[in-house]
Amino acid sequence: MTAQSWSPARNSLIVFALVLIAWQILFVAVGPQAMTPPLETIGYLAQLLTTAAFWGHVEETSRAFLLALLLAVVLGLFIGFLLGAHRFSRDVCESILVAFYSIPKITLYPIILLVFGLGLPAKIAFGTIHGIVPIAIFTMGAVSNVSPILIKTARVLKLRPWRVVAAVLFPAALPEIFTGIRVGFALTLIGTLLGEMFGSQRGLGYLLMTAIGLQNVKLIMAVTLLIVLFAASVSTILIVIDHRLHRRMA
Amino acid sequence: MRRAAVFRLALVVAGIVLLELLCRTGRIDRLTMQPPSEMVRDLVVLLASGRMNGAMLKTLVNVAAAATLAVVAGVVFGVGIHRYRALRQGLEPLFATYYAIPVYAFYPMLIILFGLGDMPQILIGFMLSVVAVIVSTLSGLDRVLPVLVKTARVYRLGPIATARKITLPSAAPYLLTGVRLAVAYAFIGVIGAEFIMSQTGIGYEISFAYDNFDNKVMYPLILLILVVSVVVNASLSRWEKALLQRRSRT
């Protein structure tokens, strides 16, 4: 390993250790009624992961999340390319997208539920509306910033429109698009979990909601830990890929 | 750009008219959605009745508290760590993965810690916004031209005078980005938390109306939140643009 790739890994480890220490200190400060300490939480999570019922919830959440992410990426890329390639549409729609990004989308949840009904489609829709905007905004920005020389070259070579997208625009815009997908990943996860917290009978969000009702601190902590571990590790991997893509283009 | 603004307005109006027509003709049934004109009328009635004043005040105060806390803490922390390279490098991976972590997952824990009062909601808003402020502060300070700092030193300005005359004006647009994000995220955080579980606030009122199929209250309130968050965000970003322009002129 080179020194350069070693240093981020070391930094992450230090941060991870500090978080564990802070957690333990916080536990000592607030006491066992409010939270469980790191080791006990990890132990309980490991125990949960051996039960079939818990895996059922994990599976449900994973399914909803993956479908929501797929939809967010496909639709986000579509909107992003469309607006990125056409200047006037971009001027018209950009601030609408940005405004949509900043509203508390949780207030739209009742509408989603009324339209899609209880169950998987509502969760997917809720995850997707969270993730789609950053992907569209980043893609739009990236496509509109592709160097005009590349586009002129494509025109000189008389490439068909879809070839222009596949061979020129997409590769040139990839690093920024990937950043958008990275942000979209995080927001889709939040959206899916929020979707499960209301009007759902299964999934990790539902499990959290019932655990609040029962004041089951152990369960809350274990589920939270699982979600945070998943989000943080996937996002770390995505950041590494992201940096690599950006460096290659530079 | 003016033509784009006209088109944007036309697009939004067309969307609203379409929704109105779909609702009036019964394509969308009354249980799912109400015509926009009725939402506006119901909102006026609701606001005039004063029923929602308490909830609105509660939400606004909590959002203001969360955003203020986040801005103060974020700027202080950002200025504090800006000088220490190693510390900053160690924290950077934490900032980068922070927004991948679903902050709402901590809400149950906060409820157990602080009870079901205002504190958990304010803290969720704070947690959601503070890192955005730190990151904007850092990037603002990074962009203060070294020549300006040197000039300050030549004139022997003290630390406070340097901050007031050089650093702050120079970093202002980026600090304002942080403020804008803090307000948007505080809105999202507080209303989301109210929605999940609370005893008062607009988010709570929406979820209460939803549970009772009270569309005459629910849709006007959703509309209110959308309008308020879009207006606040748009005015802050207009101010931000003005500052950026002034900065590039000088």
DSSP annotation string for A116-167:
H-SSHHHHHHHHHHHHHHHHHHHHHHHHHTS-HHHHHHHHHTT--HHHIIII
User: Which residues of chain A have a CB within 8 Å of the CB of B95?
Assistant: none
- pLDDT mean over A66-87: 94
Q: Which string of DSSP letters, residue by residue, matches B118-175?
A: SHHHHHHHHHHHHHHHHHHHHHHHHTS-HHHHHHHHHTT--HHHHIIIIIHHHHHHHH
Name the burial class of residue B113, with classes exposed (0-12), middle (13-18) and buried (19+) by CB atoms within 10 angstroms of its CB: middle
Residue from B47, B97, B51, B74 nearest B200 by CA: B51
Q: What is the residue whose two structure tokens read 């006990």?
A: A40
In a domain, B5, yes or no: no
What is the reported pLDDT for A162?
A: 85
**In A25-135, where do the E strands start and end?**
none
Distance from CA of B222 to the nearest CA of A (A): 6
| Distance to chain B for A179, nearest Cα, Å | 11
Cβ within 8 Å, pair B192-A106: yes
In terms of CA atoms, which chain A residue is nearest residue B205? Answer: A107
Q: How far apart are CA B149 and CA B161, in angstroms?
A: 11
Query: Does residue A90 or residue A31 have the better pLDDT?
Result: A90
Average pLDDT over residues A175-188: 92
Cβ of residue A112 closer than 8 Å to a chain B Cβ: no
pTM of the complete model = 0.85
Q: What is the DSSP letter of B185?
A: H
Task: Write the residue in A30, A99, A239 that is nearest to B113 by C-beta.
Answer: A30
pLDDT beyond 80 at B96: no
Give the ranges where chain B is alpha helix by DSSP (H): 2-24, 36-49, 53-82, 85-98, 107-114, 119-142, 146-154, 159-162, 168-196, 202-211, 215-249
Determine the pLDDT at residue A215. 80
Residue B102 maps to a domain: yes
Contact A194 B192 (CB under 8 A): yes
Which of B93, B104, B210 lies at the smallest CB-CB distance from A11?
B93
Amino acid identity, position A61: T
- Most confident among A28-42, A63-77, A220-234, B84-98 (mean pLDDT): A63-77
Among residues A56, A80, A72, which one has the least CA distance to residue A191?
A72
C-alpha–C-alpha distance, residues B126 and B74, integer Å = 10
B82 lies in some domain: yes
Is B105 within 8 Å of A227 when comparing Cβ atoms? yes
Residue B105 to residue A224, Cβ atoms within 8 A: yes
Task: Scan for tokens 């590039």, then name that residue.
Answer: B248
B159 Cα to chain A: minimum distance (Å)? 31
pLDDT band with cut points at 50, 70 and 90 for residue B59: very high
Task: Evaluate whether residue B193 is within a structural domain.
Answer: yes
**Which of B62-71, B190-199, B238-247 is least confident?**
B238-247
Q: Which two tokens stand for residue B95?
A: 């900032």
- The rounded mean pLDDT for chain A is 88
Q: Which two tokens stand for residue A94?
A: 């950009």
Subunit contact A227:B196, Cβ cutoff 8 A: no
Q: What is the pLDDT of residue A161?
A: 84
User: What is the residue range of B79's domain?
Assistant: 38-249
Q: Which CATH number does the domain housing residue B223 bear? A: 1.10.3720.10
Contact B67/B229 with Cβ under 8 angstroms?
Answer: no
- From the candidates B8, B104, B221, B241, which should be mutated to test the interface with A, based on the most A CB atoms within 10 A? B104
Choose the weakest-confidence range: A43-47, A52-56, A130-134, B234-238: B234-238
- pLDDT confidence of B193, banded at 50, 70, 90? very high
Alpha-carbon span A78 to B194, nearest angstrom: 34
B76 located within any domain: yes
pLDDT score at A116: 86
ipTM > 0.85, yes or no: no
Provide mean pLDDT across the span B89-115: 80
Residue A250 has pLDDT above 70, yes or no: no
* Residue-level pLDDT at B70: 96
Provide the shortest C-alpha distance from residue B46 to chain A (in Å).
Answer: 18
Confirm if A150 and A172 have CB atoms less than 8 A apart.
Answer: yes
- The whole-number pLDDT of residue A124 equals 93
Using a CB-CB distance cutoff of 8 angstroms, which residues of chain B are in contact with residue A11? Answer: 89-90, 92-93
| B147, two tokens | 């020549």
A chain contacts of residue B92, beta-carbon cutoff 8 Å: 11
Say what the pLDDT of residue B136 is: 92
For residue A195, how many other CB atoms are within 10 A of its CB?
A: 32
User: What mean pLDDT do residues B198-207 have?
Assistant: 89
User: Closest to A232 (Cβ–Cβ): which among B91, B97, B218?
Assistant: B97
- The residue ranking higher by pLDDT, A87 or B87, is A87
Report the number of distinct structural domains present in chain B.
1
pLDDT tens per residue, range B144-171: 888 888 888 899 888 888 888 888 888 8
Domain annotation covers residue B199: yes
Residue A218, pLDDT > 80, answer yes
Which of these, A62, A33, A45, lies nearest to A127 by C-alpha position? A62
Q: How many Cβ atoms are within 10 Å of A146's Cβ, its own excluded?
A: 19
Among B126, B107, B103, residue whose Cα is nearest residue B116: B107
Say if A129 is an interface residue toward chain B (CB within 8 Å): no
Tell me which DSSP letter residue A199 carries. Answer: S
Average pLDDT, chain B: 87
Cβ–Cβ < 8 Å for B147, B182: no
Categorize the per-residue pLDDT at B249 as very low, low, confident or very high, splitting at 50, 70 and 90: low
Burial profile B124-149: b = 16 or more Cβ within 10 angstroms, e = fewer: bbbbbbbbbbbbbbbebbeebeeeee
Nearest CA in chain A to B9: A92
pLDDT digits (tens, 9 = 90+) for A117-160: 888 899 999 999 999 999 999 999 999 888 889 888 988 998 88
Nearest-CA residue of chain A relative to B202? A107
So what's the pLDDT on residue A7?
Answer: 65
Average pLDDT over residues B40-62: 91
What b/e sequence results for B37-68 when a residue is b if at least 16 CB atoms lie within 10 Å of its CB, and e otherwise?
ebbeebbeebeeeeebeebbebbeebbebbbb
Question: With a CB-CB cutoff of 8 Å, which residues 31-70 of chain A face chain B?
Answer: 33-35
**Residue B227 Cα, gap to closest chain A Cα (Å):** 9
- The reported pLDDT for the residue numbered B234 is 87
As a whole number of angstroms, the distance between CA B73 and CA B123 comes to 13
Task: Tell me the pLDDT band of A48, cut-offs 50, 70 and 90.
Answer: very high
Q: Which of A106, A113, A231 sits opposite B100 (nearest CB)?
A: A231
Is the confidence at residue A34, as pLDDT, over 80?
A: no
Q: Domains in chain A and their CATH numbers?
A: 38-249 (1.10.3720.10)
What is the reported pLDDT for A3? 44
Nearest CA in chain B to A107: B222
| Closest to B199 (Cα-Cα) out of B57, B58, B53 | B58
SS3 A66: helix
* 8 Å CB contact of B225 and A107: yes
Q: Do A102 and B191 touch (CB under 8 A)?
A: no
Please indicate whether, in this complex, the C-beta atoms of B8 and A102 are within 8 angstroms of each other.
no
pLDDT for res B83: 80
- The more confidently predicted of residues B121 and A102 is B121
A109-121 burial, b for 16+ CB within 10 Å, e for fewer? bbbbbbebeeebe
Nearest chain A Cα distance for residue B207, angstroms: 8
**B27: confidence class by pLDDT, cuts 50, 70, 90:** confident
What's the gap in Å between the CA of B169 and the closest CA on chain A?
A: 26
Does residue A1 have a pLDDT over 50? Answer: no
Q: Is B229 helix (H, G, I), strand (E, B) or coil?
A: helix
Question: Closest by alpha carbon to B190, among B207, B172, B178, B202?
Answer: B202
Q: Which residue of A has its CA nearest to B32?
A: A114
Other beta carbons within 10 angstroms of residue B116's beta carbon come to 14
Rounded CA separation A103/B232 (Å): 10
Residue B4 counted as domain residue: no
